[in-house]
Amino acid sequence: MRITLGALLISTLALSSCGGWRDSRVNPTNWFGNSREAPVETDENLNPLIPQEEERVNLLGRGDDEEVDNSLLIAVIKDMRIERTSVGAILTVEGEAARNGAYDAQLVPSITQEPGRLEYTFRVNYPKNATYRGTPATRTIRAAVSLSNQDLAGVRVLRVIGKENARETRR
């Protein structure tokens, strides 16, 4: 009883002494202080009713609805795995991008498909700004696609294409 009462008393004192920590200068959350509203610089010649970028307009006066594909092939395909599921398979591909910052990895079906062969291209987007090359671990990116049993019917070779190499697996 004495030990538990003593421990309870010590922990209560220790906990109550933490109240001053919130307002002290040692607390890292107080180093920058509270936020304040600041004025925003505006351009006097800016008219919000005039668009800053030209919009593409076709002959009928409508904008183009077609999106431009800026994706590129991934530099190197390092690994490819197929995991069977009850409704088909999952194709998982690991690649190494040419530089850091690659995003939106996709396995895109190739336009020309030969019978008995299923072919994908591994495509990624890169940021517009220049990025460092980085280490291989920071440039590694994965993509996966689900294949149904109908997609796999009659397929003997599954192939994924990158910029410098391709990987394939056979049944």
Q: pLDDT, tens digit, for every residue of 96-134?
A: 999 999 999 999 998 888 888 899 999 999 999 888 888
> What is the band of 6 on the pLDDT scale with cuts at 50, 70, 90?
confident
pLDDT at 144 over 90: yes
- Supply φ then ψ for residue 109, to 5 degrees: -60, 140
The model carries a pTM of: 0.60
Q: pLDDT, tens digit, for every residue of 69-87?
A: 788 989 889 888 888 888 9
Distances (CA, A) of 109 to 44, 80, 84, 122, 170: 50, 15, 19, 9, 17
Q: Which three-class secondary structure state does DSSP give residue 21? A: helix
pLDDT at 9 over 90: no
- Supply φ then ψ for residue 81, to 5 degrees: -130, 145
Beta strands in the chain (DSSP E): 72-73, 76-85, 88-96, 103-109, 117-125, 140-148, 157-161, 166-170
